[in-house]
């Protein structure tokens, strides 16, 4: 967004591993878009998708409680980073409770309480920063 409107970045990122960074200057980017209109249209499509995701996040924050947001996030993570294992789908990312809390806009203590409840209900299994969905269909049902 900063490349387009010249305003300060609205977010930052933290690498979870070795990273190669490329610098792209705004003037060069805008010049490229002027010369390649299809790239501009693709960029607008990406921005529209990002705006839709943001709309969904805002709606979730307003209308869903923490337990439901957490269930929904676990389902989403399993769909993107899931691997079939005996008895369920394991999220391949190592996730700390604080990571999950940040993702769903909650505090770590609430996430801990809801993860424990989900585990006691046989919906998930947690071990060493790994989460396995034992009953993805039931978790999906509870996430809406």
- Residues 84 and 106 placed together within one structural domain of the fold: yes
Q: 129: domain range?
A: 65-142
Residue 88: per-residue pLDDT: 94
Length of the chain as a residue count: 144
CATH of the domain at 84: 1.10.10.10
pLDDT tens, position by position, 73-130 = 999 999 999 999 988 999 999 999 999 999 999 999 999 999 999 999 999 999 988 9
Tell me if the pTM is above 0.75.
Answer: no
- Residues 53 and 77 placed together within one structural domain of the fold: no
pLDDT tens, position by position, 14-40 = 888 899 999 999 999 999 999 999 999
Q: How many domains does the chain have?
A: 2
CA distance 122 to 125: 7
- Residues 14 and 69 placed together within one structural domain of the fold: no
- Residues 101 and 46 placed together within one structural domain of the fold: no
pLDDT tens, position by position, 33-74 = 999 999 999 999 999 999 998 998 899 888 999 999 999 999
- Residues 52 and 74 placed together within one structural domain of the fold: no
- Residues 106 and 38 placed together within one structural domain of the fold: no
Residue 89: partners with Cβ closer than 8 Å, 6 or more residues away:
78, 82, 83, 132, 133, 136
């Amino acid at each position: 967004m900063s490349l387009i409107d010249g305003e300060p970045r609205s977010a930052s990122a933290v690498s979870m591993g070795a990273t190669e960074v490329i610098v792209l200057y705004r003037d060069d980017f805008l010049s490229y878009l002027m010369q390649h209109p299809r790239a501009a249209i693709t960029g607008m499509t990406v921005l529209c998708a990002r705006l839709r995701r943001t709309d969904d996040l805002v709606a979730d924050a307003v209308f869903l409680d923490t337990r439901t947001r957490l269930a929904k996030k676990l389902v989403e993570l399993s769909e993107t980073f899931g691997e079939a294992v005996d008895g369920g789908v394991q999220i391949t990312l190592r996730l700390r409770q604080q990571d999950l809390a940040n993702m769903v806009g909650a505090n770590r203590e609430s996430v801990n309480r809801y993860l424990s409840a989900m585990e006691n209900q046989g919906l998930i299994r947690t071990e060493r920063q790994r989460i396995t969905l034992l009953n993805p269909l039931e978790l999906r049902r509870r996430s809406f």
